[in-house]
Amino acid sequence: MPAGTTRTERDLIGLGIIVAAIILFVATGSAALTRLARHLLFGEAAVDTLLINALLLNVALIIFGWRRYVDLTREIAARRMAEMAALQLADTDSLTGLLNRRSLGAILPRLIATAAENRGCLAAILIDLDRFKRANDSHGHQVGDAVLIECARRVREMLPKDAALARLGGDEYAALVPFARGVDAIAQAEHIAARIGTAIAMPVECGEHTISVTASIGIACNPAYAGAPFGDAADTLMRHADVAMYQAKKAGRNRHCWFNPSMEAAMLARSALEQAIRHGVKSGEFRPHYEKQIDLATGAIAGLEMLARWHSPERGLIGPDVFVPIAEEIGVMPELSEALIRQALIDARDWAPHLTLAINISPVQLRDPWFAQRLLKLLIEARMPPNRIDIEITEACLTENLPMVRSLVTSLRNQGVRISLDDFGHSASSLAHLRALPFDRIKIDRNFITSLGKSHDSAAVVKAIGSLGRGMALPITAEGIETPEILAELRKLGAFMGQGHIYGLPMNADDLRRDLAERDLLAQPPLAQTCEDQDRHRA
């Protein structure tokens, strides 16, 4: 039996006891009180003690019953309020007071059904705050919560009164806006989305902090009378809005985007690519290739740079510009890079001892405070001298977390690893970075090299960097040497080490080994073989 029913019955029983006691009080009270008054005033016949006791008992029952009835009524009221509060918490977001994901999903089919009855349209507007996590991590969760609350208020003000607004979780909101038949839903929904984007982009004052965020907004419109079941239509509408929002982020953030079917095809292709990358990492489809680094003064090979390549059974050989951004987004870049570095160190053991191995480090790895220790562990496992390793850090990485990079660079240099500043000249703060960190080498941004002979400004920049390197005793590498004309122009501007397709395309480990063997640039005997012999001897 439900608890509410039991309480109701108890209330009725308590009330019945009170009513019965009152009836008995009325029935006995008149006679008993009359006789008591006559006895006290006129000394008439003695009072019936039994009747007086029954009267007192009736009074006690009335008082007890009434108090019990009041207590039960209060208890029921408190429980009802608690149940209402629990229901409200289940249906709303505790931070912003908006609907939550569950309640939005519950009302969405009903809104679609209503739109179908009225031959109208329902627009779903999905809103995601851009780079909110960075602001939240920098200023703390209290400031982050204040931003979420203020953004929710601003979005609510931009919506019609009959629109539903929910916080789906994190920094993501969803608005459902119904439009009546005959209304230009597309124009109206786009106008609302534009106003939402403008409102969110206004700075948020949080105490002593001023936070600025923007929003990527996806819009999808559902003609609910199209004939699809309401449940399926609801799922489709939200999925389309989510696809459009992702497209807005991909297009540069801080904008709104309408869904179209081609986006969903692109999203499915992207999802398939993500799954293929995850599988490829586990199955070892990513392998290192190597590009030669040449001393331009002698023409001799001075080192090799490791480049990642994906040997996909379905897609063929794929370059890093395709898979690296996705691998970073889906969180597999550290695992992928560590596997490539481990294999590259094994390959490099067979090279002549003077050949160095250059390794590019992604921004994701530089956020790992234990990266230096992981790299040194790999060097120990491969029995590779640290002074043969050249870690290349792009200037873009330095703007994200300079203290973390400084700690990493210091740790690696203390162990003998060399550090190069890659893409030098790309950033306006290039000179500041040279002063802030103890680099061992500069690599000129390839855009300056590829335009030599065509741009006087590029030649001036390369010449200036060459002079800077000589003044700071820093060797310089020029990458992107593609033609003899570029090479000739570069030689006029200073002494450099160079790399580029003029010296051959990047090679896999087997092809490189054969090439180095022809040049007599393998270890004698190969270090890998020596290490294997030592391991067998220990066993």
- CATH number of the domain at 225, please: 3.30.70.270
Q: Encode pLDDT of 67-87 as tens digits.
A: 777 777 787 777 777 666 655
Cα distance between residue 497 and residue 459, in whole Å: 16
| 350 occurs within a structural domain | yes
Whether 179 and 198 map to the same domain: the answer is yes
Asked if the model's pLDDT at residue 428 lies above 60, the reply is no
Domain housing 185: 101-259
Whether 83 and 110 map to the same domain: the answer is no
Structurally, the chain folds into a number of domains equal to 3
Confidence of residue 48 (pLDDT cuts 50, 70, 90): low
Q: Encode pLDDT of 320-355 as tens digits.
A: 999 999 998 899 999 999 999 999 999 999 999 999
Q: Which residues contact 77 (CB under 8 A, 6 or more apart)?
A: none
Whether 192 and 47 map to the same domain: the answer is no
Q: Encode pLDDT of 173-196 as tens digits.
A: 999 999 887 778 888 999 999 999
Whether 305 and 237 map to the same domain: the answer is no
Asked if the model's pLDDT at residue 56 lies above 80, the reply is no
Token reading at 124 = 């779903």
Whether 31 and 60 map to the same domain: the answer is yes
Token reading at 251 = 């297009």
Token reading at 213 = 């965020």
248-261 mean pLDDT? 90
Asked if the model's pLDDT at residue 39 lies above 60, the reply is no
Token reading at 414 = 């203390």
- CATH number of the domain at 395, please: 3.20.20.450
Locus of tokens 């800077």: 468
Whether 56 and 171 map to the same domain: the answer is no
Model-level pTM? 0.66
| 358 occurs within a structural domain | yes
Q: Please, are residues 357 and 389 in contact by the beta-carbon 8 Å criterion?
A: yes
Whether 460 and 349 map to the same domain: the answer is yes
Cα distance between residue 164 and residue 238, in whole Å: 14
Q: Single out the residue of 392, 458, 455 nearest to residue 425, CA to CA.
A: 458
Locus of tokens 């489709």: 236
From first CA to last CA, the distance across the chain in angstroms is: 74
Q: Single out the residue of 382, 347, 375, 304 nearest to residue 523, CA to CA.
A: 347
Cα distance between residue 57 and residue 23, in whole Å: 13
